Amino acid sequence: MSVSKNPDACPVSILMSLLSGPWTMYILWVLCNSGPTRFGALKHLVEGISTKVLTERLRMLEAAEIIYRQYEPTVPPQVTYGLTKRGQELIEILHQLNALAERWYGSQQREHSNSNI
Amino acid sequence: MSVSKNPDACPVSILMSLLSGPWTMYILWVLCNSGPTRFGALKHLVEGISTKVLTERLRMLEAAEIIYRQYEPTVPPQVTYGLTKRGQELIEILHQLNALAERWYGSQQREHSNSNI
DNA sequence: CGGAATCCCGCAGGATACTG
DNA sequence: CAGTATCCTGCGGGATTCCG
C-alpha cells in the first residue's frame, strides 16, 4: 500500500506508507498501551486480524526499526514484540495528530479511554 | 482504504485513513508548495494520477475541510483548490513527521528541494 | 507457539470515452 | 475546463491448512 506512487517520494511519504495499511496503527496502539507483547497475545488483542497480515505488519515495522522482535528458542518458542526508540518517537508525533483529530472530530470517549495514540 | 477496521477507531485513525491512500499526501504537498491550484494544473503537477482518483481525493479532503473548493461559473469554468486552516494545521504536524523521517532515512535532497511536507 | 504456504475474492485504482 | 460514467484488472487481505 503506497501513499505516493511518485519516484521522488519524500521521507514523510515513506513513513506514511508504512503506517497506512489496515491494522498497522492499531498494532502500534496496542503495543504502546500493553507494552511488549507476544505474537499470540497480539493476535487476540488485535481482534479480527489474520495471522498472515499480522505477520506482514510486524515484519514491516521491524524492518523499519519501529518495533523489535525478541525470539526465545524455547519449546514452545516465545516471540515478543515491542516498541523501539524509534517507535516511541513516532508515537509521540502520532499523539499530536490525535490531539488535532480530537479537536476536529470531538473526543468521543470510548471504552478503552486510556490515552489512545 | 482504511487504517483500522476496528469499530472503536480512534480519531487519529480517522485522520490516517484520510491521508493513507495513494496520491493523497502528494496532493497536499503540492497544494502546500504551489498554493491554490486549479484542477487541470493539479492534474499536471500530480503526474500520473487519473482524473477519477484526483477527483475522489479532492472530494474526500474537501469533505474533511482540509482543502477548499472554489468554483467560478465562467465559461470555461474555473475550479481552484487550496489548503484550509485545518489543512495548514495538518501540514505543520506532517512537517514534524517529515523531520523525523529525514533523521531516520537521511535527507536525500531531491530535485524539488523546497521544503517538503 | 509462531508462523509459512496456498487459494480465493472484492474492490481500489487505471484507462478510456463522453458531457455541461 | 472540470469533471462524470463505464469497464476492466491487480493485488491486498481473508480463510484455511500445514510445519519446526
3-state secondary structure of B48: coil
**Residues with Cβ within 8 Å of residue B15, at least 6 apart in sequence:** A97, A98, A100, A101, A104, B90
Start-to-end CA distance of chain A, whole Å, equals: 21
Query: CA-based diameter of chain B, in Å?
Result: 49
Neighboring chain A residues of B93 at a CB cutoff of 8 Å: 93, 96-97, 100
Instruction: Verify whether the Cβ–Cβ distance B3 to A24 is below 8 Å.
Output: yes
| A19-38 confidence digits (pLDDT tens) | 888 999 999 999 999 999 99
- Amino acid identity of B67? I
Is 60 exceeded by the pLDDT of residue A95?
Answer: yes
On strand C, nucleotides with any atom < 7 Å from a protein CB are 1-6, 12-17, 20
Cell triple for residue B3?
Answer: 487504517
Q: What is the mean pLDDT of residues A91-101?
A: 92
Cα B105 from Cα B117, distance rounded (Å): 15
Q: What angle do CA A61, A67, A69 make, to 5 degrees?
A: 100
- A39's CB contacts (< 8 A; 6+ apart) are A54, A58, A79, A81
Q: Residue B61 pLDDT more than 50? A: yes
Q: What is the pLDDT of residue A117?
A: 39
Global pTM reads 0.86
More confident residue, A59 or B1: A59
> Tens digits of per-residue pLDDT, A73-93?
999 999 999 999 999 999 999
Residue B13 pLDDT = 80
Could you tell me how many residues make up chain B? 117
Rounded to an integer, the average pLDDT of B82-106 is 93
Q: Which residue has the higher pLDDT, A38 or B6?
A: A38
Q: Name the pLDDT band for A3 (thresholds 50, 70, 90).
A: low
Q: To 10 degrees, the CA torsion angle through B69, B53, B108, A25?
A: 90
In angstroms, the CA of A94 and the C1' of C11 are apart by: 29
Q: Tens digit of pLDDT for each residue in B11-58?
A: 788 888 898 889 999 999 999 999 999 999 999 999 999 999 999 999
> Mind telling me how many Å the CA of A59 is from chain B's nearest CA?
17
Does B22 contact A12 at a Cβ distance shorter than 8 Å?
Answer: no
What is the model's pLDDT at position A33? 95
Nearest nt (C1') from A1 Cα:
D12
Tell me the DSSP string of chain A.
--S---TT--HHHHHHHHHHSTTHHHHHHHHHHH-SEEHHHHHHHSTT--HHHHHHHHHHHHHTTSEEEEEE--SS-EEEEEE-HHHHHHHHHHHHHHHHHHHHH-----SS-S---
Res A112: pLDDT = 40
Within 7 Å: CB of B35 and strand D?
no
What percentage of chain A exceeds 70 in pLDDT? 82
Which residues in B have their CB inside 8 Å of a CB on A? Answer: 1-6, 8, 10-16, 19-26, 29, 47-48, 65, 86, 89-90, 93-94, 96-98, 100-102, 104-105, 107, 110-112, 116-117
Predicted pLDDT at B113: 38
| Whole-number average pLDDT of chain B | 86
CB atoms within 10 A of CB B21: 20
Question: Looking at A42-56, A95-109, B89-103, which range is the least confident one?
Answer: A95-109
CA of A23 to C1' of D19 (A): 26
Pairing of strands A78-83, B78-83: unpaired
Mean pLDDT of A30-58: 97
Give chain A's mean pLDDT: 86
Give the H or E element holding residue B100. helix B85-105
